[in-house]
Amino acid sequence: MATQTQDALSSQPVTQASQTLAPSSPAAVTGTQGGSSEKEAKEKKAFERWTKTLSLITGIGLSKEEFQEEVDKIDRKQCELRKEQLIKTSPGVRFMMNNLVKSGCPLTKNMLECGPCDNTKSGGFSKDHGILLCQNGFFSKKHQEHTMIHEMIHMYDHCVFNMDWDNLRHHACSEIRAAALSGDCNWSREVRRGFYTFTKQHQECVKRRATLSVQGNPKCPSRDAAEKAVNAVFESCYNDTRPFDEFY
Ligand SMILES: [Zn+2]
């Protein structure tokens, strides 16, 4: 998105208009030049790009579907770019990828996909399709990083343990581990939220997030059932930090 905006704003029409003091309509800009048609065409293209960027910002001049299509494209591009960067530079992502290889379940690139999701999600793991990264669900690169690690922990659990995702206790255990180890509940985020006692708050955050995720399991009848499943396995699963030595 940054590239597109920069392109559009630094391109010809603006400069030309100020040089010639012409009104800022496309006809006027190209009309006052009287130059080669190649130049005109170039300026017209730049202007179209520029108005498209403006349309995208204002939403004027695009249908709802066109607007969504453009937003999806931009989201996907950013998600893909960050994914590549994180695979190269994030210690947590690299650590998990290495451990998936070691466990006999390597994560190939086509198993780590960016796509649009409903607004409440940031990612998902499916034993058949791999990991989905919600391109419209991240509020920062850090958030995407934590989500990648979170989903990789589910994948690791599926690979290493005999997981039955329909069993709420199994699911709860994996959610507890994913929330605890991914950085979802890490210290700096909790401090930013105004909490000061690390250990207790970390556990509370893990419980809260795990419960919410288990609630999303189609086999889960109620919030109460989710809470029960989380509480039943919390101690053992919270303390099982494999493949990490301790909380990342
Ligand atoms: Zn999860």
Sign of the alpha-carbon dihedral angle for 97, 103, 107, 108:
positive
Task: Give me the active site residues, please.
Answer: 151
Average pLDDT over residues 32-40: 62
Write out pLDDT tens, residues 222-232: 999 999 999 99
Predicted TM-score of the model (pTM):
0.74
Write the pLDDT tens digit of every residue in 198-215.
678 889 999 999 999 999
| Centroid of chain to Cα 171 | 22
CA of 169 to the centre of ligand 1 (A): 13
Q: Does residue 86 carry a pLDDT above 90? A: yes
Dist. CA 133–CA 155, nearest whole Å: 14
Res 84: pLDDT: 96
Q: Which residue has the higher pLDDT, 226 or 2?
A: 226
Query: In whole numbers, what is the pLDDT of the chain averaged over residues?
Result: 82
41 pLDDT band, cuts 50/70/90, is confident
Q: How far is the CA of 232 from the centre of ligand 1 (A)?
A: 18
| The predicted structure's pLDDT at residue 36 | 64
- How far is the centre of ligand 1, averaged over its atoms, from the C-alpha of 117 (Å)? 15
Q: What is the mean pLDDT of residues 103-116?
A: 93
Confidence of residue 27 (pLDDT cuts 50, 70, 90): very low
Asked if 170 and 220 count as a contact pair (C-beta separation under 8 A), the reply is: no
Give 105 Cα–ligand 1 centroid separation in angstroms: 18
Pairing verdict, β 123-126 and 130-134? antiparallel
Q: Say how many Å lie between the CA of residue 55 and the centre of ligand 1.
A: 37
- By the 8 A CB rule, do 134 and 120 touch? no
More confident residue, 172 or 70: 172
The rounded Å distance from CA 71 to ligand 1 centre is: 26
Burial 26-64 (b: 16+ CB within 10 A, else e): beebbeebeeeeeebeebbebbebbebbeebeeeeebee
pLDDT digits (tens, 9 = 90+) for 128-177: 899 999 999 999 999 999 999 999 999 999 999 999 999 999 999 999 99
Q: Quick one: what percent of the chain has pLDDT higher than 70?
A: 79
Q: How far is the CA of 197 from the centre of ligand 1 (A)?
A: 24
